[in-house]
Amino acid sequence: MKLKDNFLVANTAIFASVAVMHLMRIVFDTTVSVGGFDLEMWLSGVAIVVMGGLAWANWTVLKESTKQPLAKLLLGLFCLDAFAVFYSWVGRLEYWGFTNDQFGMFLILDLVVVAGLAIYLNKRK
């Protein structure tokens, strides 16, 4: 995989993740405060449009420039999720009703999926 493709996969995964997080903020009506200032909900709407547009633009280029673009994007998304779950597990965080032990189980699942996708992509070279 070329360096350009790696950047496209990473950018698409990050932009799509940010868009989904803002969508979840709107759906669950979650308040976000930065420096004691509550961010308006309409900012999440703008973020969904901008980040979703950037994710779509990167995805369009990625589809045309590489083989197995969906598997590569899933690998990027699961890597991002594994980092977030690892942070939650190491920090002994508990949120959304998940305990620290459950985050450990999610981490194992993420790592198995990442390894499986990496093996799959390596065999498809």
pLDDT tens, position by position, for the chain (125 residues)?
577 888 889 999 999 999 998 999 899 888 888 888 888 999 999 999 999 999 999 999 988 888 889 889 999 999 999 999 999 899 988 877 888 899 899 999 999 999 999 999 888 87
| Whole-number Å distance between alpha carbons of 12 and 60 | 10
The residues near 19 (Cβ < 8 Å, ≥ 6 apart) are: 47, 48, 51, 52, 55
Q: Is this structure's pTM higher than 0.85?
A: no
How many CB atoms within 10 Å of residue 70? 10
- Same domain, residue pair 45 and 80: no
- Same domain, residue pair 100 and 115: yes
- Same domain, residue pair 99 and 48: no
**Total domains, the chain:** 2
- Same domain, residue pair 33 and 43: yes
The residue range of the domain holding 11 is 1-66
Residue showing tokens 């589809």 = 63
The residues near 22 (Cβ < 8 Å, ≥ 6 apart) are: 44, 45, 47, 48, 51
